[in-house]
């Protein structure tokens, strides 16, 4: 078995030496995604709810490029700059995932790589 990088058209380039996603057999590991709008390169929104939705749209683009989607996500890691944003993040997260309820860890971090970035999300999914 081998693994290969997964990229999605239109997403911003990673800010470091890593792949947006890695596929190994049917598993897809998506690197942390911020709330950057692929069309403009700008941060979307200043609140955690708006940013969470954009983070997950970016995750979804990578998953779709690998032949998967949000309903096949098994686990997410959510990184918040302020745990007070948890309710707003949680509402947007639930809306984006619908009936799928992946395992999840949510932690507060002191800083994320981007001015104004309040949320970053990574995940592990599978290709059906």
Residue 10 is predicted with a pLDDT of: 80
48-65 vs 86-97: helix crossing angle, rounded to 10: 30
What average pLDDT does this structure show over 54-80? Answer: 97
Q: Over the chain, what is the mean pLDDT? A: 95
pLDDT digit string (tens) for 10-46?
Answer: 877 777 888 999 999 999 999 999 999 988 989 999 9
Residue 8 is predicted with a pLDDT of: 86
Position 73 confidence tier, pLDDT thresholds 50, 70, 90: very high
More confident of the two residues 12 and 88: 88
Give the strand pairing for 103-108 and 73-80: parallel
What is the Cα–Cα distance from 108 to 85, expressed in whole angstroms? Answer: 10
For residue 33 the two structure tokens come to 């995604």
Domain boundaries, the chain: 3-11+20-126
Position 79 confidence tier, pLDDT thresholds 50, 70, 90: very high
In this predicted structure, the answer to whether residue 95 has a pLDDT above a threshold of 80 is yes
Looking at CATH, the fold of the domain delimited by 3-11+20-126 is given as 60s Ribosomal Protein L30; Chain: A; (3.30.1330)
Among candidates 55, 56, 120, which has minimal Cα distance to 82? 120
For residue 5 the two structure tokens come to 């990088």
Percent residues over pLDDT 90 in the chain: 84
What average pLDDT does this structure show over 84-106? Answer: 98
More confident of the two residues 122 and 40: 122
Residue 9 is predicted with a pLDDT of: 82
Q: Does residue 20 contact residue 11 with C-beta atoms inside 8 Å?
A: yes
């Amino acid at each position: 078995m081998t693994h290969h990088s997964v990229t999605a058209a239109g997403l911003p380039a990673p800010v470091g030496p890593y792949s947006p996603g890695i596929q190994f057999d049917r598993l897809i590991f998506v690197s942390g995604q911020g709330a950057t709008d692929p069309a403009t390169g700008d941060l979307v929104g200043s609140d955690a709810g708006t940013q969470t939705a954009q983070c997950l749209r970016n995750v979804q683009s990578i998953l779709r490029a690998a032949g998967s989607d949000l309903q096949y996500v098994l686990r997410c890691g959510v990184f918040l700059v302020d745990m007070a944003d948890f309710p707003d993040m949680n509402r947007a997260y639930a809306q984006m995932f619908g009936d799928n309820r992946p395992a999840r860890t949510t932690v507060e971090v002191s800083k994320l790589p981007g001015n104004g970035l309040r949320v970053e999300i990574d995940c592990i999914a599978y290709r059906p």
